[in-house]
Amino acid sequence: MEVRNEIFVSVDVETSGPIPGEYSMLSIGACLVDTPETSFERTLKPLNRNADPEALAVTGFSLQQLEQCGTEPRQAMTEFDAWVKAACSEGDVPVFVGLNAPFDWSFINYYFHRFNGENPFGFTALDIKAYYMGVMGCSWRDTRSSAMTGCLHPTQKGNHTAVQDAVYQAELFRLTREYRQNRGK
């Protein structure tokens, strides 16, 4: 079996609601897990005016403002695809990493397929919460980011800005991975 180098990419999105297609992805933030200073960030024009007021309150975005200054979704996904591919050498496999990855991946996957024709991450994602639960042997409740922070002591913090949240969750993943590696010693 061929062993391919895995490039872990931390991805976070901010959205106007709970499901892709009906609601819009408003921003994408991503960074390489092992070199988080290598990052990507875009705000997007909304697909429509559907919005959950609580989601908009969390993001701080205005749909009207994004309609004027956001990047067209096709362009944003083309640029994100190019960034992911540039981060990988020939034969490398990009791995989508997220804190509550099913949510973020659902929007990324929908947008990649709708506007780019394919998803460079394929059809899978690595969820930091599930990984942490397996490494720590803890309950699902103990996978909240506040509980993870209390145990792992990251230097970064999340703030509902997609790129900053991607950097924060990349650190949580690195610290969990280091904990697993050191536990065996």
Q: Which of 93, 110, 84 is nearest to 30 (CA)?
A: 84
Q: Does 79 map to a domain?
A: yes
81/77 Cα distance (integer angstroms): 6
> In this structure, what CATH number is given to the domain that contains residue 110?
3.30.420.10
Q: Does 157 map to a domain?
A: yes
Q: Does 1 map to a domain?
A: no
Quick one: tokens of 71? 């990047």
Expressed as residue numbers, the domain containing 105 is 6-183
pTM: 0.95
Instruction: Report, as residue numbers or ranges, the catalytic residues.
Output: 160
How does pLDDT run across 131-144, given as a tens digit for each residue? 999 999 999 999 99
If one counts the domains in the chain, the total is 1
pLDDT at 4: 75
Q: Does 148 map to a domain?
A: yes
